[in-house]
Chain A
Amino acid sequence: MVGLLGTGYVTSLEIFALTLLGSIPLGIIVALGRLSHIKPLSFIVKLYISLMRGTPLMLQMFAVFFLPYYGFGLSTGTDYMFTACMIAFIVNYAAYFAEIYRAGIQSIPRGQYEAAEVLGYTHSQTFFRIILPQMFKRILPAMGNEVVTLVKDTSLAFSIGVAEMFTQSRALVASQRSMVPFAIAALFYWVTCLIIEFVMRRIEKKMDYYHD
């Protein structure tokens, strides 16, 4: 039983890690698009963010899963399940992260941009050397919340049949006529969240070397 839950847990962690790996950088690009002075671009990005936040992740996952078949008549292999799940997670989480980044970027005082401008920094130097590092500290609490939510959201992959921990625990509950697999899965999710909270606290403490 623990073996099956264990392999499920590894899959859950995979979804978790790949989502962060994809959506954290993608979110920066989305945030920059959202803040762009090019009106059509910022409008399209706004629409995308609104759609991602305004519809269920589960529905988005189904959409990505079925689109090749119903949209283009392409048949997909069984391993497409996991790919569809990852696309949906990354694209969805990038929208949430983008909004956190945007709030962080907009909270940096104008004087920081002006100091950089007067010193001759280019726009990208200003962003990467001055704005981004300060934004990082400011968004840590909000990011922590989102990352903890992601741990639990990985269970939504169950809906398109990815064999992550919740899928496994549900199968075990049915076959063994026992609630214990659920209890163990819950414990796994919980401990994972506790570890993340601990790590986030450490990072916040590390960033406490300055305040503004």
Chain B
Amino acid sequence: MTRSDIAVSFSGACKAFGDKEVLHGVDFEIGRGEVVSLIGPSGAGKSTMLRCLTLLETLDAGRIAYGDAVVCEGAEKAVYNKAAMREARMRFGLVFQDYNLFPHRTVLQNVMDAPLVVQHRDEDEVRKEAEELLERLGLEGREGAVPCELSGGQQQRVAIARALCMNPEVMYFDEATSALDPKLTKDMHDLIRQLAKEGMAVGIVTHEMGFAETVSDRICLLFDGQIVEDGTPHEVMEHPKDPRTRAFLDLACD
């Protein structure tokens, strides 16, 4: 993969909470049009890694870059660049596990607000795009509803529309399918593949191995703050490098 194909790169990432080390020198990247799942047991550092990637936590050391926006750098101590952080936030979108929609605003307002007040885009253009996104996600006719009137699956789709309306280059999904029934899981799979086809880089944090296997181009397995497997679903499932992988997969696939 050439440099310009890499949408996000994360290298030498170290993070500790107090004296508890959570990430030890993690290297990770997602290419444009690529779907990468990050899996691993609870406590392996998946959530921390996602929070560092989305700038909700800062790394102690390491480098994060979204395209040419180098958010932080430093092998000893990560130094963050405020302007690059702002730029990076325009380049990724995150769908939270519990969606975190704004409960006091309608579906349409949830989707339109950030493009208007953060990106200062034209209102008619944003409205058109938001309505198209909502229709694409099967939410037509619900534009005026408030989040509490929607089902969990619908709320998640509003959260997806809200993130997509910023036109990001990378989309992250935290536990994308943990609250979805088989039909909605299938829809989510199709949506993610479609986004990748359009050139989006997609990062998924999940512990549902079945979903990760079918949707991903690549799977990274995190154990104790280190990536121990990084390959196609086939490579990871059939030819694991780390002895712990087999045991984890046996449990996860049951």
Query: Residues on A close to B: CB < 8 A?
Result: 109, 111-112, 114-115, 117-121, 125, 129-130, 133-134, 137, 209-212
Contact = CB atoms under 8 A, between A and B. Distances in A.
Interface in B67-107: 86, 89-90, 92-94, 96, 98, 100-104
- Interface size range of chain B in the complex: 20 to 34
B103 A115 contact: no
Contact of A119 (B103, B104, B148, B162): B162
Given A125-B118, A129-B117, A210 B146 contact: yes
Interface of A, helix, strand, loop or mixed by DSSP? helix
Nearest to B114: A119
B96 A129 contact: no
Contact of B117 (A111, A112, A125, A209): A125
A211 B103 contact: yes
A120 B102 contact: no
A118 B103 contact: no
B40 interface: no
B219 interface: no
6 contacts: A114-B100, A115-B101, A117-B89, A120-B119, A125-B118, A212-B148
B146 A209 contact: yes
A137 B92 CA distance: 32
The interface centre, meaning the residue of B55, B93, B94, B119 with most chain A CB atoms within 10 A of its CB, is: B94
A137 B104 contact: yes
A134 B166 CA distance: 24
B113 interface: yes
Nearest to A121: B118
The interface centre, meaning the residue of A112, A119, A137, A212 with most chain B CB atoms within 10 A of its CB, is: A119
Contacts of A119: 89, 113-114, 118, 162, 166
